Amino acid sequence: MLEAIIYGFGTGIVLSLMLGTVFFALIQNSVDYGYKSGVLISLGVVFSDILFISGALLGTSFLPTIPNLSFYTSLVGGGLLIVLGAISILKKDPKIAYPKTKFGNIVYYFTTGFLLNVLNPVNFFFWVAIATKLTGENYTQIEKILFFVGCLLAIFSTEVGIAFSASKLRKLFTAKVLRSINVVSGIVFVGFGIKLLYDAFTKY
């Protein structure tokens, strides 16, 4: 069970490297309004992830045994990760352009994180793919839950760390630095995508 938590925590850290709208919202609001706004955004993200994970667990729990399901899931997931990684590596220098707010409050920041995450359909696909893979690895329902708890802890911790760093080191978050982070993130995605494709053709 401890292994499931540790594996989940590591997976959560990798997922947190995705520099999408949530990342830029964390940076912008933490720079403008302090790290507490970033913490609230992170809570909104985690809450939406809990809904996604619940749906993924319930859905995959009742799935019948489908031949080659793990193969196709790994194939699609690997391809998607490689595409996202390539886009992250090749795209131009990013600019923080998330709109500022005049009347920020707890509800605003929480719903910002929630909506930015829940309105991205790719996120649900990731959780379904992970839940399906865990089923293929013969994880028990308890082990799956512990795995996802580890994921959520890692995601929240990483995003709070980003928010805190942005508020304290705001001058360091230049376009050049963000570009470097995008390249590293893209390499990670491509690496995991290749690993999924490798698993698809060797394990399934």
pTM of the model: 0.64
The whole-number pLDDT of residue 65 equals 57
Residue 204's pLDDT band, with cuts at 50, 70 and 90, is: low
Exposure string of 159-173, with b = 16+ CB inside 10 Å and e = fewer, is: bbebbbbbbeeeeeb
Instruction: Work out the mean pLDDT of the chain and round it to a whole number.
Output: 76
Separation between Cα atoms, residue 58 and residue 44, nearest integer Å: 21
Q: What are the tens digits of pLDDT across the range 8-54?
A: 898 888 777 665 667 777 777 777 677 888 899 899 999 999 988 88
The whole-number pLDDT of residue 132 equals 78
Q: Taking 60 as the threshold, does the pLDDT of residue 64 lie above it?
A: no
Residue of 155, 157, 131 lying closest to 143 (CA atoms): 131
Q: What are the tens digits of pLDDT across the range 126-159?
A: 788 788 778 778 888 888 889 999 999 999 999 8
